[in-house]
Amino acid sequence: MLHILLLLLLGTASAAVPDCTRHALNINTKRYIAALATGRHEWLESILTPNTTYSQNLEPAPIAKVTVSATPLTISYHRTTYDTVQCATHTEILVTNPVNPYMIATQLRFDPFAQKLASIDTIVTVPGDLLFNATHALHYYLALAQPEGHGGSSWGIPIAPEKQDSRAVLQSAADAYYDVFSNKSVVVPWGEPCTRLEGGYLDANGTCDMGIPDVTAKTENRRYVIDEDVGSVAVLSNFGILGPDVHEFRIAGGKIFGIRSMTVCKEKDDCGLSPPEGLREEVGW
Ligand SMILES: *[C@@H]1O[C@H](CO)[C@@H](O)[C@H](O)[C@H]1NC(C)=O
Ligand SMILES: *[C@@H]1O[C@H](CO)[C@@H](O)[C@H](O)[C@H]1NC(C)=O
Ligand SMILES: *[C@@H]1O[C@H](CO)[C@@H](O)[C@H](O)[C@H]1NC(C)=O
Ligand SMILES: *[C@@H]1O[C@H](CO)[C@@H](O)[C@H](O)[C@H]1NC(C)=O
């Protein structure tokens, strides 16, 4: 009798405690990658519910469109960060196919047990979006992940547990970057060296404390994926004057060492700017 009671108690206890592991997030993100790589949204079917929502560039879309293209995508690069507190992931994906290239960033949000998907939100950028070049992005994503030569700005390198920033510190650094676009008195905690990759364009290498345009742009509806292990904050938002946007920040010791972004140009090609010459030139392997 006691035995059964204990089992029952244990059963209820374990059912009530959220258990969102990196492993579960990782395997379910692989389903998402499989859907894109095969062009079959059915790979997600086992983790969908009738309530799962899907959006593309901030517009609601049917789940069948989650693959971006009905043709399988040849994925040259993908990388994921994990937020086990919110039970969410951020994945960046590059398709360098010269005919139909894409730079894609996706947030997946799960129930607290990482079993079923609550939402899928994707930013899909193509030629004509801000500083788009998937081949250049591939070059820099690989170069900036090298442990040597970029100091604290190396992406993806795990941070020792005792040196990890708290979630609040990570988020406030990312928020400061957005806030300075609407309030010039905000102090952004810049680190050095710092790199900023916008689309496929490396617009800062050394110091990022420059090139903030003199405009007022409020960033709305920020949705965060925070990964303390690698010092990353990824934010999906509506970036004021521009449009649907994803920024990811590489942060260490509370300072920003790297920024990379994908921004959809809603109104005009290239968001009305003329892309720099360098964006069309060969960038090397
Ligand atoms: C879907 O949402 C409804 C209304 O909030 C809720 O009652 C139901 O349990 C949800 N279903 C699943 C499978 O999450
Ligand atoms: C602008 O930022 C400064 C520094 O963080 C803050 O003190 C001030 O209240 C902000 N102004 C507005 C209008 O939010
Ligand atoms: C950034 O600048 C440094 C110093 O000039 C250089 O060694 C490095 O290759 C540059 N990084 C990239 C990705 O261009
Ligand atoms: C991207 O750069 C490559 C050279 O690396 C160039 O051939 C291509 O035209 C560029 N694409 C765009 C959309 O600018």
216 close to ligand 1 (CB < 6 Angstrom): no
Ligand 3 centroid distance, CA of 203 (Å): 12
Q: Return left, alpha or beta for 180; rule: phi > 0 is left, psi -120 to 50 is alpha, else beta.
A: alpha
Euclidean distance between CA atoms 246 and 121, whole angstroms: 11
- pLDDT-flagged residues of the chain (< 50): 1-2, 4-11, 13, 149
The reported pLDDT for the residue numbered 7 is 46
Domains of the chain (ranges; CATH) run 2-125 (3.10.450.50), 151-280 (3.10.450.50)
The reported pLDDT for the residue numbered 154 is 79
26 close to ligand 1 (CB < 6 Angstrom): no
Peptide bond into 112 cis (omega under 30): no
Pocket of ligand 2 (CB under 6 A): 183, 185-186
Q: Which ligand is nearest to the CA of 118?
A: 1
Please give the structure tokens belonging to residue 108. Answer: 């997946």
Q: Which ligand is nearest to the CA of 279?
A: 4
The reported pLDDT for the residue numbered 17 is 78
Supply the DSSP string of 172-235, one letter for each residue.
HHHHHHHHTTT-TTPPP-EEEEEEEEETTEEEEEE--SS---S----EEEEEEEEEGGGTEEEE
The reported pLDDT for the residue numbered 266 is 87
Ligand 2 centroid distance, CA of 220 (Å): 17
The reported pLDDT for the residue numbered 9 is 47
- Which residue, 111, 169, 161, 99, is CA-closest to 135? 99
Ligand 3 centroid distance, CA of 150 (Å): 8
Interval 210-247: pLDDT, tens: 767 667 778 889 999 999 999 999 999 998 767 899 99
The reported pLDDT for the residue numbered 189 is 97
Phi, psi of 63 (to 5 degrees): -60, -30
